[in-house]
């Protein structure tokens, strides 16, 4: 992901930063219907445990107290449905995603689960949120921040829309910190995942991009400083699965 400059890498291609959003949209339009299946195959099902850890950190109240969550880049509703299940009758989740194809999948699944009134789906850009200041108790984003062209803008927007005392939680792929596992993970990422993408979703290039975007995402300590620069406080991160992913946290105080 870019940290300054006006170009970024898309797969093995360098793309002007201004064009990146359109290219990312193309990727997710291509794989929307099989996105959750691909997550299972790519992570060996581990993404479910990682998302459970995110929901535990959200800690929605079990009672009728109003608790409103903004789930950014959550198009298919996977995280939102988990939060809804964990929370009480006062919990509401707004899924905001820039991609209409992902949102359409999420809306269908919400209807199937009778969660239409609990989880709502709205198209929007994480860099320019249309919501009022201090309107959410929690802002989450799972495996989406690395696809935002200007990460700093998205973090600043998350800070803006959080209520005082609200929490920002970001689940994202990270840098493996276990000797030996790092080389194995690299081999798996660049040799196996694109082939899975080709076989299951019929789109090798999309998953080649996803792998490349993981590699280019800031290391956890650097990303933590970016979160802090947005104005969030008590910033921390918890590595999981040997550093394959990290759960980042910050509070609006």
Q: In terms of Cα–Cα distance, which of 177, 168, 159, 185 is closest to 236?
A: 168
SS3 of the chain: CCCCCCEEEECCEEEEHHHHHHHHHHHHHHHHHHHHHHHHHHHCCHHHHHHHHHHHHHCCCCCCCCEEEEEECCCCCHHHHHHHHHCCCCEEEEEEECCHHHHHHHHHHHHHCCCCCCEEEEECCCCCCCCCCCCEEEEEEECCHHHCCCHHHHHHHHHHHEEEEEEEEEEEECCCCCCCHHHHHHHHHHHHHHHHHHHHHCCHHHHHHHHHHHHHCCCHHHHHHHHHHCCCEEEEEEEEHHHCEEEEEEECC
Q: Are strands 67-72 and 136-142 parallel, antiparallel or unpaired?
A: parallel
Q: What is the per-residue pLDDT for 28?
A: 62
* 108 pLDDT more than 50: yes
* 133 pLDDT more than 60: yes
Structural domains of the chain sorted by starting position, each given as residue range(s) with its CATH number in brackets: 7-251 (3.40.50.150)
Q: What is the per-residue pLDDT for 110?
A: 97
Question: Which of the four pLDDT bands, split at 50, 70 and 90, describes residue 4?
Answer: very low
C-alpha 185/C-alpha 46 separation (Å) is 14
Report pTM. Answer: 0.83
CA atoms within 13 A on the CB side of 46: 13
Give tens-digit pLDDT for 140-164: 999 999 889 899 999 999 999 999 9
CB 97, CB 83: distance < 8 Å: no
Tokens of 219: 């290391």
């Amino acid at each position: 992901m870019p940290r300054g400059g006006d170009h970024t890498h898309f797969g093995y291609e360098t793309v002007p930063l201004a064009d990146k959003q359109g290219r990312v949209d193309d990727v997710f339009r291509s794989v929307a219907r099989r996105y959750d299946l691909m997550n299972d195959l790519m992570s060996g099902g581990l993404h479910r445990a990682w998302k459970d850890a995110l929901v535990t950190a959200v800690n929605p109240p079990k009672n009728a107290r109003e608790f409103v969550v903004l789930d950014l880049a959550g198009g298919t509703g996977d995280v939102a449905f988990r939060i809804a299940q964990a929370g009480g009758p006062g919990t509401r989740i707004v899924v905001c995603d820039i991609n209409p194809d992902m949102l359409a999948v999420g809306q269908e699944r919400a209807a199937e689960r009778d969660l239409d009134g609990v989880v709502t789906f709205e198209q929007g850009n994480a860099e320019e949120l249309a919501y009022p200041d201090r309107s959410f108790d929690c802002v989450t984003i799972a495996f989406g921040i690395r696809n935002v062209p200007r990460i700093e803008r998205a973090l600043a927007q998350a800070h803006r829309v959080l209520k005082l005392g609200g929490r920002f939680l970001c689940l994202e792929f990270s840098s493996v910190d276990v000797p030996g596992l790092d080389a194995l993970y690299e081999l798996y990422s660049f040799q196996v995942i694109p082939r899975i993408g080709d076989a299951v979703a019929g789109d090798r290039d999309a998953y080649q991009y996803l792998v490349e975007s993981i590699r280019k995402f800031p290391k956890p300590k650097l990303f933590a400083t970016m979160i802090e620069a947005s104005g969030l406080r008590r910033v921390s991160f918890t590595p999981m699965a040997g550093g394959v992913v990290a759960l980042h946290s910050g509070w609006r105080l």
